[in-house]
Amino acid sequence: MQFHPKDLEHIQAHELTVEKIKQDLKHLKTGFPKAEIVKPATLQDGILQFTTEEKEKLKQIYKNSKASVLKFVPASGAASRMFRLLLQFKEEFENSSLSYDDFLNQDKFKPLRSFFDAVENLAFYNDLVLALEEKGVDVNALSAEEKTMKLTKQMLDKDGFDMTNLPKGLIPFHRYKNQSLTAFEEHFYEALTYAVKDKKTNLHFTISPNHIDKFEEKLNEFQPKIESESGVNIQVDFSFQHPSTDTVCIDANGELFRDENDHILFRPAGHGALIENLNQITQDIVFIKNIDNVSHQNSGIEKTPSKLEFKSVLAGHLIQLQEKSFSLLEQLEEHGEDAELLETAVSFLRKKLNVHLTIKNKQDVFHFLNRPIRVCGMVVNKGEPGGGPFWIKNDDGTTSLQIVEKNQINLQDDDQKAKMEASTHFNPVDIVCGRKDYKGNLFDLKAFIDHDRGFVANKFVGGDPIKGLELPGLWNGGMACWNTVFVEVPVESFNPVKAVSDLLKPGHQPKSNV
């Protein structure tokens, strides 16, 4: 494929190469190999379940650790998906001949009926009312239909709050007595419960460059207050997806998609690109959690006695695994040919790190042991869309634990489909990572990516159908060559906000509203 000189300038300006573009195009046209599921990971077969006594021991290990810690929060997404159904309602109802009640009785829009009935419980409801009052609208004097439309337009319209174009992290999620908190702010309060060492906590948010001013403005507004309340020094960093991780896309004819100026269109390649950002983190232990998965601090859902105690359990287990791994690596370095030592290391890999080796020579054992470790929380699957824990057969002949997305599975194969449907748990993205090796050096995380674990996604650009390329997901192919451990965590800890109506669920409401 030949590129015009202007294309080459455009590619170089994006810090990409022609070779990378050609590789992307190849993947777009041929796809990626599917994951080969051996079986789903289940309790006592890939997913650990700790006793109360074990949990207390692991919490103590973490508490006594001198390891530096950081909370890493992918937060680059806009809130457009949150308001998608509401936006469709606004656009379609205005052009419909149906009555308000009949329109909401359609299957597509039925979820909005309960949403509108409880809309007063949104954290930003009072802001909506005040904004409408400034426009001369008394919400309490309106009919149900008029109230719904006025509130919806105030949420979505350009001359309203334009919430679809806000970053999800800056949407007010939770209402308290004297304030409402955004998801961004809630992550700070959550970090205070498990990510504080020596009166200091570190947080890192990956955001869109377009939103940096808004995030910094919010940070300057509340950081002094939370530091004063807690007595904890809070260090905050932001980073962006690097342009060199962007990918091209193709149109319906399989041709390279270009914008209205005939420039090659580059698109962000999903959260897999964030492995570059994570690779810049220097702390020993990193907690990873998505921006929208935070609960109300006084919610009515049942919680463990110590809020978020499972975070310390995961971190304690990570430290426990690292200590044993590091000890074995040091011994292998000095006495690598000792048959008994090799057998001990192979047994540890199999029983504790879920890597099943058939070979027992020093080089291979050392290779599989000297990898970053991640301990991932898993919740009981209650029908949420997303990835799950599975035993996977790898190209090198080993069997290991992986987080696999539905689109990575060959659903045309009855055996693979049955194994997927037999899955009992779901990935909530509650991960604790070890960043350093047995010598105290940072791992180069880019060396542990399985580049064949990306996927092709059908998207739209300005109404035009395209095929876009998604890099191997951060916790899928991006961490495929890490040593992986799964631990069951409370299902109540998983409270994502995919749609604005999710903010009315128990995990996001104060106990009095539940």
Burial class (CB in 10 A: 0-12, 13-18, 19+), 235: exposed
How much is the pLDDT for 14?
A: 86
Q: Which helix (H) or strand (E) holds 92?
A: helix 84-93
Owner of token pair 């009095």: 512
Residue 122 lies in a domain: yes
How much is the pLDDT for 457?
A: 84
C-alpha distances in Å from residue 396, one per residue of 216, 357, 450: 46, 10, 12
Instruction: List own/partner pairs for 194-198 with CB under 8 A and 24 or more apart.
Output: 194/287, 194/308, 194/309, 194/311, 194/312, 194/315, 195/69, 195/70, 195/71, 195/287, 195/311, 196/232, 197/66, 197/67, 197/68, 197/69
Q: What is the CA radius of gyration of the chain?
A: 25
Cα separation, 440 vs 435, in Å, equals 9
Q: Assign 324 to helix, strand or coil.
A: helix
Q: Which residues contact 269 (CB under 8 A, 6 or more apart)?
A: 245, 246, 247, 454, 469, 470, 471
Q: Per the structure, how many domains does the chain have?
A: 1
For 464, phi then psi, to 5°, come to -90, 130
Residue 35 lies in a domain: no
How much is the pLDDT for 302?
A: 45
Residue 120 lies in a domain: yes
> Which amino acid, one-letter code, is at 211?
H
Q: Which helix (H) or strand (E) holds 81?
A: none
Contact 349, 366 (CB under 8 A): no
Pick 152 or 10 by higher pLDDT: 152
State pTM to two decimals: 0.93
Q: In terms of Cα–Cα distance, which of 383, 389, 382, 376 is closest to 429?
A: 376
Half-sphere exposure of 16 (CA within 13 A, CB side): 25
pLDDT at 146 over 70: yes
How much is the pLDDT for 303?
A: 45
Pick 24 or 488 by higher pLDDT: 488
pLDDT at 188 over 90: yes
Q: In terms of Cα–Cα distance, which of 413, 391, 394 is closest to 403?
A: 391
pLDDT at 305 over 60: no
How much is the pLDDT for 299?
A: 76
Q: How confident is the model at residue 301 (pLDDT cuts 50, 70, 90)?
A: low
437: left (phi over 0), alpha (psi -120 to 50) or beta: beta
Q: Which residues contact 274 (CB under 8 A, 6 or more apart)?
A: 74, 206, 241, 474, 478
C-alpha distances in Å from residue 61, one per residue of 54, 197, 322, 386: 11, 13, 12, 32
pLDDT at 304 over 50: no
Instruction: List own/partner pairs for 150-156 with CB under 8 A and 24 or more apart.
Output: 151/119, 152/86, 152/89, 152/90, 153/90, 154/128, 155/83, 155/86, 155/128, 156/83, 156/86, 156/87, 156/90
Q: Which residues contact 502 (CB under 8 A, 6 or more apart)?
A: 495, 496, 508
Residue 422 lies in a domain: no
Provide the mean pLDDT of the chain: 92
State the average pLDDT over residues 151-176.
96
Cα separation, 506 vs 296, in Å, equals 9
Cα separation, 294 vs 497, in Å, equals 9
Residue 212 lies in a domain: no
Residue 178 lies in a domain: no
- Residues 201-259: pLDDT tens digits? 999 999 999 999 999 999 999 999 999 999 999 999 999 988 888 899 999 888 899 98
pLDDT at 38 over 80: yes
pLDDT at 106 over 80: yes
Cα separation, 349 vs 55, in Å, equals 22
How much is the pLDDT for 385?
A: 64
- Residues 403-442: pLDDT tens digits? 998 888 999 999 999 999 999 999 999 999 999 999 999 9
Residue 105 lies in a domain: yes
Domain of 135 in residue numbering reads as 80-165
Q: In terms of Cα–Cα distance, which of 357, 483, 456 is closest to 34?
A: 456
Residue 302 lies in a domain: no
How much is the pLDDT for 307?
A: 59
Pick 111 or 357 by higher pLDDT: 111
How much is the pLDDT for 261?
A: 86
pLDDT at 183 over 70: yes
How much is the pLDDT for 243?
A: 83
Helix/strand/coil percentages in the chain, nearest 5: 45, 20, 35
How much is the pLDDT for 389?
A: 96
For 199, phi then psi, to 5°, come to 60, 30
Q: Using DSSP, how many helices (H) and how many strands (E) does the chain show?
A: 15, 18
Cα separation, 499 vs 453, in Å, equals 28
